[in-house]
Amino acid sequence: MEETKSVTDGRHLRSLHTRHKLLEAAKEVFPEEGFHKATISQIIKRAKTGYGTAYVHFTGKDDLLIVLMEDVMTAFYSIAELPFTPASRAEAEELILYQTTAFLRMAESERKMLQVFGEAIGVSASASQKWAEIRERFINRIAQDIAYSQQNGLARTGLDPELVARGWFYSHEMYLWEIVRGEHQAQLDEIAKTLAAIYTGGLYS
Amino acid sequence: MEETKSVTDGRHLRSLHTRHKLLEAAKEVFPEEGFHKATISQIIKRAKTGYGTAYVHFTGKDDLLIVLMEDVMTAFYSIAELPFTPASRAEAEELILYQTTAFLRMAESERKMLQVFGEAIGVSASASQKWAEIRERFINRIAQDIAYSQQNGLARTGLDPELVARGWFYSHEMYLWEIVRGEHQAQLDEIAKTLAAIYTGGLYS
DNA sequence: CAAAATATTGACACTATGTCAACTTTTCTG
DNA sequence: CAGAAAAGTTGACATAGTGTCAATATTTTG
């Protein structure tokens, strides 16, 4: 019903087009200027729409960015949701190293946009919340993986999987921000190796 | 020379007093309003000075906050600089657990101010830089401790002490921000135990 | 005490935000 | 298909905060 309306209704179509123009403009302006320096005026100018239009389609600058982050989030989730059912300690270690590497590589490939998002997290409550979503999804998944390993006699028991998962994710997240800032490009695999070594050495000793 | 002038010169004294009033006002306003919502107008109003005065004594809102952070930094440094020369693995583990606990406890005791600082880090380049200073000091110190343990046959070799130290500190830092946000109050010791267990289990297995 | 040095002040120019009444475009209806 | 209704667009405006600077006030000096 809504589908039909969306396709036929020329008004809605126009609206969608305007929205799209704004998003495209924002996608350019944000990385160029950074979150704080970017202004609605810059964005509407590039999108060739009126000032108020931006506020019709989005609640503000944060909202515009949040929508742009969806793409990045999708990529993140695909890593978080990788299957983890190792049969041996060696296989567990391999999977963990792979996941760690994938995570850090993503920091590199999505650098520009993550840089903007990192800046926004400090300022905008909604950006901060969006990032918290990504984080919790990762942590939940890691906690599951740890619990699985504990139940199958691969990992040391007696530690709360969620607390371990948090600490584990946090060290990754902070490395992510460093990579985004442009530090450590060359060492990426070395970092992954180190993080995985500490983690597995600790849990699987 | 400057000392003498400072004490005798009534103009300088007045200036110092004004500066002090501004800092006291900022110390109240920042935690009440948060970094973003706090304005220069609110601060000068409470300090009972003119608007421009704030800009005579400080370059802006960030600068005012940075100065307030010095106290907190001092406390942090005292933890970072604790001596670490364990003779056995058991002693190393004990020291590490102590340091971890002290670090997290500080997050609790300095909560309000750290909350403001956490917010400022995202917005203000100078706040971000100040925090980076604290962080690097910690990381350097931890890296030294790890190298010490490696050299004395207490810790596994073959891993870069600095990379390990970073991952280690990062998980602590992120837990710090969580504690500052008011999550995990009760679990504080449990968190310290978990972090220390992973770290020592990993390095000292 | 007058002049010099220093400190304080608020009005001003500037920049950005978010709102809303007027306007344009598209669809519906008799 | 005319004109009413609905949906979308627009920029002027009110508001709020920043940082600057010429004028003013206070203190020291000769």
Name which CATH class applies to B68-203.
Answer: mainly alpha
Q: What's the number of CA atoms in the CB half-sphere (13 Å) around residue A36? A: 12
Nearest CA distance, B30 vs chain A (angstrom): 15
Confidence (pLDDT) at B34? 93
pLDDT category, B10, cuts 50, 70, 90? Answer: confident
Quick check: A198 and B199 CB within 8 A? yes
A·B CB contacts under 8 A: 102
Whether A39 CB is under 7 Å from strand D: no
Structure-token pair, residue B184: 């995990």
Task: Locate the domains of chain A by residue range.
Answer: 2-58, 63-203
pLDDT tens-digit series, residues A1-47: 334 444 567 778 999 999 999 999 999 999 999 999 999 999 999 99
Separation of CA A48 and C1' C29 in angstroms?
Answer: 34
CA B29 to CA B64: how far, in whole Å? 11
**Number of residues written out for chain A:** 205
Confidence (pLDDT) at B125? 86
Q: What does the DSSP assignment read for B150-197?
A: HHTTSS--SS-HHHHHHHHHHHHHHHHHHHHTTTTSTTHHHHHHHHHH
Signed CA dihedral, B32, B136, B152, B205: sign only:
positive
Quick check: A171 and B171 CB within 8 A? yes
Whether B170 CB is under 7 Å from strand D: no
Residue B174 has pLDDT above 90, yes or no: yes
Quick check: B201 and A163 CB within 8 A? no
- Measured CA to CA in angstroms, residue B183 lies from A66, A140, B21, B115, B131 at distances of 25, 17, 34, 12, 21
Separation of CA A6 and C1' C25 in angstroms?
Answer: 17
Query: Cβ distance B121 to B127 under 8 Å?
Result: yes
Whether B74 CB is under 7 Å from strand D: no
Highest mean pLDDT among A41-50, A194-203, B148-157: A41-50
Q: What's the number of CA atoms in the CB half-sphere (13 Å) around residue B178? A: 21
Confidence (pLDDT) at B199? 87
Confidence (pLDDT) at B203? 53
Confidence (pLDDT) at A122? 81
**Among A120, A167, A205, beta carbon nearest to B195:** A167
Confidence (pLDDT) at A186? 81
Instruction: Give mean pLDDT, residues A135-139.
Output: 93
Nucleotides on strand D lying under 7 Å from protein C-beta: 6-13, 16-22, 26-29
Greatest extent of chain A over all pairs of C-alpha atoms, in Å: 64
Chain B interface disruption, residue of A37, A163, A177, A199, most B CBs within 10 A: A163
Confidence (pLDDT) at B205? 53
Name which CATH class applies to A2-58.
Answer: mainly alpha
Nearest in space to A119 (alpha carbons), one of B179, B127, B168: B127
CATH code of the domain made up of A63-203? 1.10.357.10
Residue B44 has pLDDT above 70, yes or no: yes
E strand or H helix at B71: helix B61-80
Nearest in space to B54 (alpha carbons), one of B31, B28, B30, B20: B20
Number of continuous H segments (helices) and E segments (strands) in chain A: 10, 0
Pick the more confident residue, A123 or A126: A126
Quick check: B194 and A119 CB within 8 A? no
Report chain A residues whose CB lies below 8 A from the CB of B119: 122
Instruction: Say which nucleotide is closest to residue A5, CA to C1' distance.
Output: C27
Confidence (pLDDT) at B124? 87
Q: What DSSP designation does B37 have?
A: T
Confidence (pLDDT) at A115? 93
